[in-house]
Structure 1
Amino acid sequence: MTTSFVLKENEVWLSKLLTRARTFGPKLKRWHTRELAKGTPLRDANTRVRHVVERLWVEDFHFAADDQEIRDLAESFAKRYGRAAINSSFDIKRMVATFEKQYGFPLPSNTDIPRISCAKFWRRQLRNVAAQRVEQLNRELGFTRRGVAAYVSDSGFKSWLAKDQRNRRLLEDMEAENDFGQSYSLAELADLSISNPVNKRNELMVRLDGFEDYAEQHSAVGWAAVFYTWTCPSKYHAITKGKINPKYNGSTPAEAQAWLNSQWQKARAALIRAGISLYGFRVAEPHHDGTPHWHMLLFVPKARRKALTKILRHYIMAEDGHEPGARKHRFKAEVIDPRKGRATAYLAKYISKNIDGYGLDMDDEAEDHSAITALRVRAWSSIWNIRQFQQIGGPPVTVYRECRKTARNLDALTGVPTPEVMEIIEAADKGNWSGFTEKMGGAVCKRLRRPLQLAYLVKEKLGQYGDTIKQVFGLWSHDQPKAISYPKPEWTIRRKGSSLNCIGECLQSQAPPAIALEFCQ
């Protein structure tokens, strides 16, 4: 049998196989050609392609299906499981366990009968898992890395951009009108919120800078600022030194993030046992291959700085801590010298890099301009459902935001704020995070002991899936006899030019009777 005949037969076989990969077929073909050029045996390259194609199919679900196919399958699932739920012997827990075993991906912990009977619920689950499966295959095949497509694959990035643009057009086509006669497009309202990257970055910088001001104002405690970096073990990285990592265990970025979170929880428990107080911020960002790592700016009493560093080093090095390169790359700690500049500057770069690239030139990790790579980072965060920024310690930002809203409605308040509460509201209104933290009991005060809390309203009307709807109603304090609130308008959402309410009433409503209030944090 001649070589040319074997190659021709293989091309026929490969072509048929790649048609089963749908839109992922052309990329698999490029990978196959590249591997053969590198000297990979034909049998090995073929086997890998076959395994990838098999991972794109689960029962009647193709992970590279187009959106209409996903919508059709979602409708099918909703009808199938909705009919099954009518049976008195139906067990939702058994159904979820069977589904997860059959299809190989988990359903949310709040999955219930109303949800499994809804096509919208299934569309969301199927779209998310499809995007993640295709993105993971891109990582494993080397299509997500520096020099090719940093942070996310090009196909994943384009899909995210298209979805973002569709959402923007929808917001621009919808308008909200309240009972005060005010009307805005949903896009205008979104631009005023922290959904706007500029607003998000500005608020984060205000809070971060305020924490540093607070530390400086409490010099008697002697707060030291330390910049830490946590990196996952080698086996969580798909690419190393520009090549597929032979140690790679197939973990997704979401699984790597879960590992970092688990180590952090262990470290926090150890810190509590040791009586070490701290506050600051954490930023999760991707390596060029999509594997997350953490940067943390933490303020800790100088006398406990070494103990904090020892505990954080111990837990990040607890797994594979003796592997080559672990001591150099896994953990970094840098004590900030205030004589050389503010601690905020250390984390400011990473905040900007992961939001909109403001004030930055090149992204060295991705070898591209920061304004472009920031979009790719946001796509990475969206696809893998990874929380990029997290405040550690300090007062809740939700109370801060409600205080700022309250300050703009002082003339219409129900309940008279005490002088102490007014000082908190005024500090928030001025964007004085340091003062707000001080008035709220300090940076390390336990949440339930803080003087001001959110007041929640439990609505009589249930949500789409029969869930209780709880919304922010105002503020309350331990020594305030009545909740502080202001009239919240009732909104109607509709398409522009339509008199029909096509979404329904907004979650906000008029001030309810006090009996309906539930106070919690």
Structure 2
Amino acid sequence: MPKPAHVQQHLARIIDSAPREWQNAIRARFIKSAPLPPAGVAMDSQAYARWELGLPSENEQAWAELQELADYEDRYGDALRLNIGDEEICAWAQKLADDVEEFDNRIVVHARTTLSFPKLQSASPEVILQTRIDAVRRIVDMLGVEVSKPIKGESDIARAKCARWWRRRLRRHIARVVEAGAINMGLVHLNSGGYVSHSGLHRRKGQLARNAEALGRTFYKNEANQIYNLAELSALSPSNPAIRGGELMTRIRGTEEYADAHGHFGQFLTLTAPSKYHAMRLVNRGARRWAERNPKFNGADPRECQQMMLALWKRVLSKLDRKKIKRYGLRVVEPHHDGTPHWHMLVWTETEEAALALVEIIREYWLSEDGNERGAKENRVDVKRMEAGGAAGYVAKNVGHIALAEHLDVVQGQEIQMRLGLDHPDQPKPQDNSEMAAQRRVDVWAATWGIRQFQAFGTPSVTVWRELRRVSKDQPQQLDLFCPDTQRNIQRAYQACHRHGEIRADWRMFMESMGGHSCKRQDWLLRPARRAAKDGATNMYGDALTAGPVRGVEIQRGRARGHWLVSRRIAWSHCTEKPMAAHAEGVAADADGVINTAGQAAQTRQALPAAWTGFNNFRGRLPGAAAEQISISGNRESEAQTSRLDPDSAAYQRQALANRFQQAAHFFKNAH
């Protein structure tokens, strides 16, 4: 018969195997004070007293407590077992890859020669391949890791043999399982730091440190023989959160200016999930608000809640399309203190009637689940009108860049600034006293659950914006033979993407030149242009490549349709040689992943070598007489330079080759 000693033994085992931050919560949940016997009853007569009062015996109570412990391990056992470090994850990934390769080799090599697989002795190659696929699928399903597509081919077997593939999926799977366990245990709430658990925050910091180290020790060399590490290159691209945040605010400001110029109606919406998706609830205790367990919680993690809201939003968009209501704006996803996501949306419509219809459709779908619960109609969908001239800069709080912190909102004529829950003066301060504590935790929350924080809709592609910034100045001028309207719009889009002295980049002009708002993908003026994949090109796992990398933008309207504006590209190659000391110092990232290069001395670079030909990258078109004059003078100058060189020298050979190239180019130009 079970006894209380057995309960204590199993409880001690669970507590010892649990993370340190879980142990107090487990003790508070399972360690109960023993019931006192009635007055006048001796302690050795407690069993009789329990029987008199109709209470269960010690054996029955111990059995119930053991069942409770078993249920707890069934629910949180994976989170307890998978709370491991990154070194253990890497070793586990390597072991899985080796086991899959060994088992797959046994099927392929020994299926027809041994008795290990009697069902495959006379099987066809298709049956053997399907057996290999089923084996890999069973391993993935047993571990519960998330894959991007179903396992159904030879390339998927090759992925399962790769330790890198396993490592990425195990890290993501373990982080989400452990974090979901912490949420269900009630360890993620306002009073403990909010948004994520302490172990999740520590795990994300380790990931950023590994990324910064990898970027700092990986070097690439370009065509000019200049050597950079990836940290330096990343600091100059939108992968740097500071640059990405500035670009985001440029887009928001330009979208707002476009809406104000066209007299469109703007609304600020806050959308939340039903109360059963919240693990914790806030109660007032004196002057402060404290968190307690939500008895209605259904056990959904933040990713499942986000998927539910995305499904509702798709239904909203379908109905808006059926009613032909155009809309555009930005969606921002933020976490509540317990990690449950909620949405803030900036939505512009063409008329006020369309705005009212949009709100009614959103209310219809957002109240379709538990719409009659208390406070649902008042709080599930919150709508405010944006005044002209206000900007939705509260997103700067999540971007975490000081250059964006001055931007405020104007909603219903009042200037406001959105605050995260932990930033409120009445709430307890987080344990991390730095100014970026809230932004760091939001970043960890979004990275752990794979939630996209910022999503624009109804506006032109930001990829086209970035590619136009790389197009050289002469390329838009090559369209002088095409439609004037098309050329004028391309020129405006190109100018809008660049800063001209004190004139900043203008997303509003870019939107107008691209075609306005709420266009279909094929109706925008420009789209990203991709190089065609080479025949037979595959990735490292054997999947055929269907599209090459982006190489510029393509025109989709007018007689210039199909014409490319090629963006400037520099050929890079991986550099294994040791760079100079001036280049070897990497650029470290901070806890937010921001690569800070301010205050560092400019690193000296090798001078560009002399060009090996007489050509340059000029692609502009000149009138026939001017081109003829330049070609003749260039040939004469090249011949004069050649005559001054030693015929046996390498310089003489290079100059002679350049002369022949120039003559050939002049010949083909005249023939054309």
TM-score, with length taken from structure 2: 0.66
Q: Does 1:277 align with 2:323?
A: no
Q: Give the counterpart letter for 2:13 in structure 1.
A: K
SS in 2 for 1:315: helix
Q: Give the counterpart letter for 2:459 in structure 1.
A: G
Q: Which residue pairs with 1:518 in the alignment?
A: none
Cα gap change, 1:402 to 1:389, in 2 (>3 Å): same
Q: Does 1:176 align with 2:230?
A: no
Q: Does 1:250 align with 2:250?
A: no
SS in 2 for 1:429: coil
Distance (Å, rounded) in 1 between the aligned partners of 2:135 and 2:324: 45
Q: Which residue pairs with 1:489 in the alignment?
A: 570
Q: Which residue pairs with 1:121 in the alignment?
A: 165
Cα gap change, 1:46 to 1:383, in 2 (>3 Å): farther
Q: Deviations over 1:458-506 (max 9, x none)?
A: 343422222316210111113336422145222123467269xxxxxxx
Q: Tell which deviates more after alignment, 457-466 or 325-334.
A: 457-466
Distance (Å, rounded) in 1 between the aligned partners of 2:372 and 2:418: 34
Cα distance, 1:62 vs structure 2: 3.9
Q: Which residue pairs with 1:436 in the alignment?
A: 510
Q: Which residue pairs with 2:143 in the alignment?
A: 103
Distance (Å, rounded) in 2 between the aligned partners of 1:26 and 1:50: 20
Q: Which residue pairs with 1:162 in the alignment?
A: 206
Q: Which has the higher strand share?
A: 1
Q: Does 1:225 align with 2:266?
A: yes
Cα gap change, 1:495 to 1:233, in 2 (>3 Å): farther
Distance (Å, rounded) in 2 between the aligned partners of 1:363 and 1:50: 42
Equivalent residues of 1:143, 1:149 under 8 A apart:
no
Q: Tell which deviates more after alignment, 40-49 or 195-204.
A: 40-49
SS in 1 for 2:313: helix
Q: Which residue pairs with 2:117 in the alignment?
A: none
Q: Give the counterpart letter for 2:540 in structure 1.
A: Q
Q: What is the aligned counterpart of 2:372 among 318, 322, 327? A: 322
Q: Tell which deviates more after alignment, 48-57 or 396-405.
A: 48-57
Q: What is the aligned counterpart of 2:174 among 130, 135, 144? A: 130
Distance (Å, rounded) in 1 between the aligned partners of 2:133 and 2:247: 42
Cα gap change, 1:363 to 1:150, in 2 (>3 Å): farther
Distance (Å, rounded) in 2 between the aligned partners of 1:49 and 1:155: 23
Q: Which residue pairs with 1:377 in the alignment?
A: 442
Structure 1, gaps ≥5 residues long: 500-510, 512-521
Cα gap change, 1:329 to 1:486, in 2 (>3 Å): closer
Q: What is the aligned counterpart of 2:258 among 205, 208, 214? A: 214
Distance (Å, rounded) in 1 between the aligned partners of 2:399 and 2:273: 19
Equivalent residues of 2:241, 2:399 under 8 A apart:
no
Q: Deviations over 1:272-296 (max 9, x none)?
A: 0011000000001100100111000
Equivalent residues of 1:152, 1:289 under 8 A apart:
yes
Distance (Å, rounded) in 2 between the aligned partners of 1:496 and 1:286: 45
Distance (Å, rounded) in 1 between the aligned partners of 2:488 and 2:34: 75
Q: Which residue pairs with 2:660 in the alignment?
A: none
Q: Which residue pairs with 1:191 in the alignment?
A: 235
SS in 1 for 2:299: coil
Equivalent residues of 2:100, 2:160 under 8 A apart:
yes
SS in 1 for 2:88: helix
Cα gap change, 1:39 to 1:475, in 2 (>3 Å): farther
Q: What is the aligned counterpart of 2:87 among 60, 68, 93? A: 68
Q: Which has the larger radius of gyration?
A: 2
SS in 2 for 1:484: strand
Q: Which residue pairs with 1:337 in the alignment?
A: 387
Identity of aligned residues (%): 30
Q: Give the counterpart letter for 1:483 in structure 2.
A: W
Q: Which residue pairs with 2:540 in the alignment?
A: 464
Q: Does 1:449 align with 2:523?
A: yes
Q: Would you say how many aligned residue pairs link Structure 1 and Structure 2?
A: 482
Distance (Å, rounded) in 2 between the aligned partners of 1:389 and 1:40: 52
Cα gap change, 1:192 to 1:94, in 2 (>3 Å): same
Q: Give the counterpart letter for 2:510 in structure 1.
A: F
Cα gap change, 1:184 to 1:46, in 2 (>3 Å): farther
| Structure 1 residues 303-318: aligned runs within 5 Å | 303-318=353-368
Q: Deviations over 1:317-346 (max 9, x none)?
A: 1111111221122111111233xx51x2xx
Q: In angstroms, what is the RMSD of aligned CA positions?
A: 3.1
Equivalent residues of 1:280, 1:299 under 8 A apart:
yes
Cα distance, 1:449 vs structure 2: 1.2
Distance (Å, rounded) in 1 between the aligned partners of 2:355 and 2:488: 37
Cα gap change, 1:459 to 1:330, in 2 (>3 Å): same
Q: Which residue pairs with 2:599 in the alignment?
A: none
Cα gap change, 1:39 to 1:191, in 2 (>3 Å): farther
Structure 2, gaps ≥5 residues long: 36-60, 109-124, 283-290, 407-416, 481-486, 500-504, 581-616, 618-672
Q: Does 1:35 align with 2:76?
A: no
Q: Which residue pairs with 1:475 in the alignment?
A: 553
Q: What is the aligned counterpart of 1:352 among 397, 400, 407? A: 397
Distance (Å, rounded) in 2 between the aligned partners of 1:464 and 1:413: 37
Q: Which residue pairs with 1:401 in the alignment?
A: 466
Q: Which residue pairs with 1:503 in the alignment?
A: none
Cα gap change, 1:268 to 1:45, in 2 (>3 Å): farther
Q: Tell which deviates more after alignment, 156-165 or 85-94.
A: 85-94
Cα gap change, 1:411 to 1:275, in 2 (>3 Å): closer
Distance (Å, rounded) in 1 between the aligned partners of 2:528 and 2:34: 61
Q: Which residue pairs with 2:311 in the alignment?
A: 262
Distance (Å, rounded) in 2 between the aligned partners of 1:73 and 1:155: 20
Cα gap change, 1:101 to 1:463, in 2 (>3 Å): closer
Equivalent residues of 1:254, 1:385 under 8 A apart:
yes
SS in 2 for 1:171: helix
Q: Does 1:90 align with 2:129?
A: yes
Q: Tell which deviates more after alignment, 49-58 or 434-443.
A: 49-58
